Chain A
Amino acid sequence: MSADIKPEESMNTVGCAACCGHGDGGPKPAHTGDTGHDGHDDMVSMPTAPTRWRLERLFDAIRFGRAPSADADADCHHGSGGGHTLTGETARRVVFVGNPNVGKSTLFNSLLGAGARVMNAPGTTVLVERGRLDMTGKPGIPESSAGIWDIIDTPGTYSLLPQSPDERVAAQAAAGIDGMPAPDALVAVLDATNLVRSLYFLAGVLELGRPVVVALSMNDLARRQGDDIDPQTLSQALDGVPVIAIDPRTGEGTDSLMRTVAGNFDGTPLPHGLRLMHAGNDEELATMVREGADRRFDWAAGIIHRLGLDHAGRETVSDRIDRVLLNPWLGVPVFLAVMYLVFQATTTLAGPMQDWFDVTVRGWLTDGIDAVMSLFGPGATSGWVHGLIVDGLLDGVITVATFIPPMGIMFIMLSLLEDCGYLARAAFVMDRLMRALGLDGRAFLPIVVGFGCNLPGLAATRTLTDSRQRVMVGMLIPFASCSARLSVYLVLAYAFFRSTAGLVVFLMYVISIVLILAIGVLLRHTVFRDLKPEPFAMVLPPYQWPKAVALVRSVLIRLWGFLRGASSIIISVIIALWLLASIPATAAAGGFGHVEDVHDSVYGVVADAVAPVFAPAGFGDWHASAALITGFVAKEVVVGSMSQSYNISSTGDQTEQQQGQGALGDKLRESFDESSGGHGRAAAIAFLLFVLAYTPCLATVAELKRQFGRRVAAGSVALGLAVAYVLAVVAFQLLRLVM
């Protein structure tokens, strides 16, 4: 199928019609006649147009939650690439492609801002960002190119021959194959500091036959290295393929880039030495990429030679920094110091801010609600509506708000580490240690952060470039014993093991690490069997100063994404739990919203029903099961829930040690001794192990669902519950022989 283009033919313009053999909306590429095929024959191996249209509509419908349009032909105006707006109008599809760490996503963020949506590519856990821009009336945009542009940011890849699911999605989106909508234009983001590799990649992209505009990034760094690449000169060397210099961090050049894309939907030249690929599916594309690799590399080397850039390079500032940061003796200690900083920032620094939301803001809002409701009469502030608003809705909102500080700090730290170029080094330094789990060195950071709070740990999984690794680390993080679980450990440890309480708490952390390793090995040999250790070879970007504007923008976009994705689940489940605790289950319990003893509510009935399940673990008691159900929402409230269920009034300023050694400790010992047949200490250990291993909190589940989808979130909850239950039962049955 591959068309052998003669030099004079290769200069011909190829355009969107190359992907639209059945339409009449765009110009047909002149090369098609020269190669002995008509335009339609070129499409022989591709899905038939109606099939592809259906797939595109399905893709749009899934991603944007709207019904697929029935009118297929009316939309075929610009090849097969058009997405569809709410009014049925055709949208231009512009796909961003490029190597990892070239500023592609920063460019995308600066163009789309908060308008971008992160979503999984169909049928995968690969994250693709997508957003829409209305280009109507924008300066320099010709009327023929105006309207809605559908902009898609693909995962970074070194090749159109994929070696991971993420790279496969990037290749499919660029080529418009295997159900992915065909693009109207491709923006290839190239790294000016590493032009050979970038040009090799560009060669493959150009051979796809779509209109291509080159966005040249990292120009300031290249200049500092002595390579001042003039976009005009590079464009001439590429036989007229448009090249625009950009700085994604400041937004410089982006307007010019968009104007250039707008002016080139009809097609861009295919440079001499390259040949069009006509791939209809993954296999064909892979074969063509493999077969033409040497040709493309020779072409790239030729361009570099013509530009006079084929020198050996000299020692750079980055080399000198790497001499310290990647030193055989200092590399790991420096990495651990960086991890310590991130950990401290997401815990110690975030703690007071979380308290501010939890106490101060909650106080203000409660007072405000009370003031408004008192306008409706004195009884309004004691009615169930007040309870629903303050203890249900407001509690949910405050719970979401308390996660803003650790998530915001995590996003800042990630952006700093990514933008300055250290994250790629971290992957390299820790690669050997994480290899046993089939993970790369970057997996270390999310897990370490998970020990502070699982939620920012999950946020940090986005630094992993392989989606399978992201999912696997996402499933391991809930086993990292976060600081919220510590409060439960302390109270039970002091209640049951006064003199050795410290040792018990320490052992919980040791068990957490052992669990992560054991579950990691288990997952790697079962669900993630195909996650084999690959030879490590990674491009190290030059170090650079992060830019404040780009950093703030990316932090706000990520934070907004988290709030939008996680808040609905958290708030609705908290309201549901409030409802359960507000519905009286016995005649003497009181009215709706006024249940005095939680045991007399539907919540108590549920806790009673669940309790026998835990009998083999020694804590088949409703107080324990009620605390565990509350702990599903957040581990911070487990101790409070226990106090409430035992009707112990707490002053709120007691330490965990005081609570464990005081009235709550007495009650706990009493009921654990009773439910375990006199083996209270064994039951307490079993309870602690259960708390360690089961679902950390509702926010984690919401974030897992947001990032990886419903299935992974449900799988993670099921795995946590299963591991927790088996651990608790086995521990109790063994320990009761000696305790």
Chain B
Amino acid sequence: MRVTGVRMDERHVLRMLELGIRVGGLVRVTQRSNFGGRVIAIGTGRIAIDAATAQSITVRAAEPNTHGEQS
């Protein structure tokens, strides 16, 4: 999936960037965990994010024929 937006304040958007989550970047969910948390893969790295953070990141399918935003 490709990140289309990070709806957070500037400080946290920058922290997400530092962790590798940036608009235009590719991510995929490798694990759904308790309380709505997610583990996402960015290349070979793995980042754990809580439900609220996951909801603030919008993505769209990276495949050429699939569109539509989801969070």
| Chain A interfacial positions (CB closer than 8 Å to B) | 158-159, 161, 163, 193-194, 196-197, 200-201, 222, 225, 227, 290, 293-294, 297, 304, 309-313, 315-316, 318-319, 322-323, 326-329, 331-332, 424-425, 428-429, 431-432, 534-540, 542
CB-CB under 8 A from B26, the residues of chain A are: 312
CB atoms of B34 and A538 under 8 A apart: no
- Selected from A196, A201, A297, A318, the residue in CB contact (under 8 A) with B46 is A318
CB atoms of B52 and A196 under 8 A apart: no
Chain B's interface size range is 35 or more
- Selected from B12, B39, B52, the residue in CB contact (under 8 A) with A540 is B39
A-B contact count (CB 8 A): 131
CB atoms of B48 and A432 under 8 A apart: no
Q: How far is the CA of A329 from the CA of B33 in the complex (A)?
A: 8
CB atoms of B30 and A193 under 8 A apart: no
The verdict on B50 contacting chain A, using a C-beta distance below 8 Å, is: yes
CB-CB under 8 A from A323, the residues of chain B are: 31
CB atoms of A424 and B33 under 8 A apart: no
- Selected from A194, A316, A429, A535, the residue in CB contact (under 8 A) with B56 is A535
CB atoms of A537 and B33 under 8 A apart: no
CB closest residue in chain B, given A221: B44
Q: How far is the CA of A540 from the CA of B16 in the complex (A)?
A: 14
- Selected from A310, A316, A540, the residue in CB contact (under 8 A) with B48 is A540
- Selected from A200, A225, A428, A535, the residue in CB contact (under 8 A) with B44 is A225
CB atoms of A326 and B33 under 8 A apart: yes
What are some 10 contacts across the A-B interface (CB < 8 A)?
A194-B44, A194-B45, A197-B18, A227-B44, A293-B14, A326-B31, A536-B52, A538-B48, A538-B49, A539-B45
CB atoms of A535 and B28 under 8 A apart: no
- Given contact pairs A197-B19, A432-B37, A542-B46, a sample of 15 additional A-B residue pairs in the complex whose CB atoms are under 8 Å apart: A290-B14, A313-B41, A315-B30, A316-B44, A322-B30, A322-B31, A323-B31, A326-B34, A329-B34, A331-B34, A425-B48, A432-B50, A535-B15, A537-B49, A538-B47
Distance (whole angstroms) from the CB of A582 to the closest CB of chain B: 58
CB atoms of A158 and B15 under 8 A apart: yes
Q: How far is the CA of A432 from the CA of B38 in the complex (A)?
A: 13
Distance (whole angstroms) from the CB of A4 to the closest CB of chain B: 22
Within 8 A of A (CB), among B19-69: 19-22, 26, 28, 30-35, 37, 39, 41-53, 56
Q: How far is the CA of A159 from the CA of B32 in the complex (A)?
A: 27
CB-CB under 8 A from A200, the residues of chain B are: 17-18, 20
Contacts A196-B42, A197-B20, A297-B17 given: A537-B31 contact, CB under 8 Å? no
Q: How far is the CA of A143 from the CA of B13 in the complex (A)?
A: 47
CB atoms of B33 and A196 under 8 A apart: no
Main secondary structure of the interface of B (DSSP, over half): mixed
CB-CB under 8 A from A332, the residues of chain B are: 34
Q: How far is the CA of A329 from the CA of B31 in the complex (A)?
A: 12
Distance (whole angstroms) from the CB of A645 to the closest CB of chain B: 52
CB closest residue in chain B, given A193: B44
CB-CB under 8 A from B28, the residues of chain A are: 312
Q: How far is the CA of A522 from the CA of B5 in the complex (A)?
A: 37
- Selected from B11, B18, B31, B32, the residue in CB contact (under 8 A) with A158 is B18
CB atoms of B18 and A201 under 8 A apart: yes
CB-CB under 8 A from B17, the residues of chain A are: 200, 293-294, 297
| Smallest CB-CB A-B distances: 3 pairs | A194-B45, A536-B50, A432-B35
CB atoms of A297 and B22 under 8 A apart: yes
Distance (whole angstroms) from the CB of B38 to the closest CB of chain A: 10
Q: How far is the CA of A574 from the CA of B71 in the complex (A)?
A: 61
CB atoms of B47 and A537 under 8 A apart: yes
Q: A290, A313, A425 — which one has the most chain B CB atoms within 10 A of its CB?
A: A313
Contacts A159-B18, A328-B34 given: A428-B45 contact, CB under 8 Å? no
CB-CB under 8 A from B8, the residues of chain A are: 535
CB-CB under 8 A from B56, the residues of chain A are: 535
CB-CB under 8 A from B18, the residues of chain A are: 158-159, 161, 197, 200-201, 293
CB-CB under 8 A from B19, the residues of chain A are: 158, 197, 537, 539
Q: How far is the CA of A163 from the CA of B18 in the complex (A)?
A: 12
CB-CB under 8 A from A319, the residues of chain B are: 30-31, 41, 46
Distance (whole angstroms) from the CB of A712 to the closest CB of chain B: 28
Distance (whole angstroms) from the CB of B57 to the closest CB of chain A: 10
CB atoms of A196 and B45 under 8 A apart: yes
CB atoms of B48 and A331 under 8 A apart: no
Contacts A201-B18, A312-B26 given: A539-B33 contact, CB under 8 Å? no
Q: How far is the CA of A431 from the CA of B39 in the complex (A)?
A: 14
Q: B14, B16, B18 — which one has the most chain A CB atoms within 10 A of its CB?
A: B18
